[in-house]
């Protein structure tokens, strides 16, 4: 007759496997984010809210996963269980190879992310120039705005100036939004290409820790979650230049 322990074992293993499979991968979470929009500078606010809510929902899942990982790592990090490394000389060559691979991965990730930063910096520089041009155009119009008690002529002139200011801001949005969303698109391409590198970097770090008999300290998905979360934050700015409809 089989013992109860033997009967329970498959159930325990199944529950463990189900928990692992239920954890979304960084790739899966990235695919759940909305696509990069073609910004309508006068879109209804509800369109932007729906876009933002979808991103926030994914970021909430990422935060939950990261907190779970940190809690698990803290539970496993017991100084009394850490052993002094053995066979240091035998492992030295392996550790050197792992250190080299880790440095190469870090360098590749940094190089690709620096390119993305440069793209966004170029958009910011263009934004600075266009903002000054916009300010010069709107400054005389702003002086025509009337608040409080206005004559009929002043009110008409104010309404016309307000409408023109809105038109200028829409033109500014139409100029800058494609540049900004293209930068976000380049960011997305980079994140997709780097997720395998982030995972490999964690594997290398874990192998290094294993040779030092420190156990698995870096879950393979952690860096990927961080990369997707940072991209999601950038995606949230897609409607950065949005103006909205003209309300008179």
User: What does pTM read for this prediction?
Assistant: 0.83
Provide the pLDDT for residue 20.
Answer: 38
Closest CA to 56 of 221, 176, 48: 48
Helical spans, DSSP H, in the chain: 4-22, 26-32, 45-76, 88-142, 152-211, 222-235
User: With contact defined as beta carbons under 8 Å apart, do 35 and 184 qualify?
Assistant: no
The span from the CA of 140 to the CA of 73, in Å, is: 60
Ordered DSSP codes for 177-189: HHHHHHHHHHHHH
Confidence tier at 237 by pLDDT (50, 70, 90): very high
Residues 6+ apart with CB under 8 A from 139: none
| 124-127: Cβ within 8 A, 24+ apart | 126/176, 126/179, 127/176
pLDDT, tens digit (0-9, with 9 covering 90-100), for 175-198:
999 999 999 999 999 999 999 999
Q: Which of 75-79, 152-156, 208-212 has the highest mean pLDDT?
A: 152-156
Provide the pLDDT for residue 219.
Answer: 82
Confidence tier at 14 by pLDDT (50, 70, 90): very low
The yes-or-no verdict on residue 75 having pLDDT over 80 is no
The yes-or-no verdict on residue 88 having pLDDT over 70 is no
């Amino acid at each position: 007759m089989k013992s109860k322990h033997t009967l329970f074992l498959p159930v325990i293993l199944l529950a463990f496997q189900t928990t692992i499979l239920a954890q979304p991968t960084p790739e899966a979470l990235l695919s759940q984010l909305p696509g990069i929009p073609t910004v309508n500078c006068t879109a209804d606010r509800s369109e932007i809210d729906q876009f933002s809510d979808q991103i926030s929902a994914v970021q909430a899942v990422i935060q939950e996963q990261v907190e779970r990982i940190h809690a698990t790592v803290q539970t496993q990090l017991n100084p009394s269980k850490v052993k002094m490394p053995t066979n240091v000389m035998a492992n030295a060559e392996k550790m050197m190879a792992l250190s080299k691979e880790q440095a190469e991965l870090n360098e590749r990730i940094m190089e690709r992310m620096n390119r993305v930063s440069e793209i966004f910096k170029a958009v910011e520089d263009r934004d600075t120039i266009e903002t000054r041009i916009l300010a010069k155009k709107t400054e005389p119009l702003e002086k025509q705005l009337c608040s409080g008690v206005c004559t009929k002529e002043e009110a008409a002139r104010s309404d016309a100036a307000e409408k023109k200011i809105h038109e200028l801001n829409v033109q500014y949005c139409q100029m800058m939004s494609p540049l900004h969303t293209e930068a976000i698109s380049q960011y997305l391409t980079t994140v997709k290409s780097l997720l395998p590198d982030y995972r490999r970097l964690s594997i290398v770090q874990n192998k290094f820790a294993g040779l030092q008999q420190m156990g698995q300290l870096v879950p393979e998905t952690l860096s990927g979650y961080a990369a997707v979360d940072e991209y999601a934050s950038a995606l949230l700015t897609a409607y950065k230049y949005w103006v909205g409809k003209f309300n008179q």
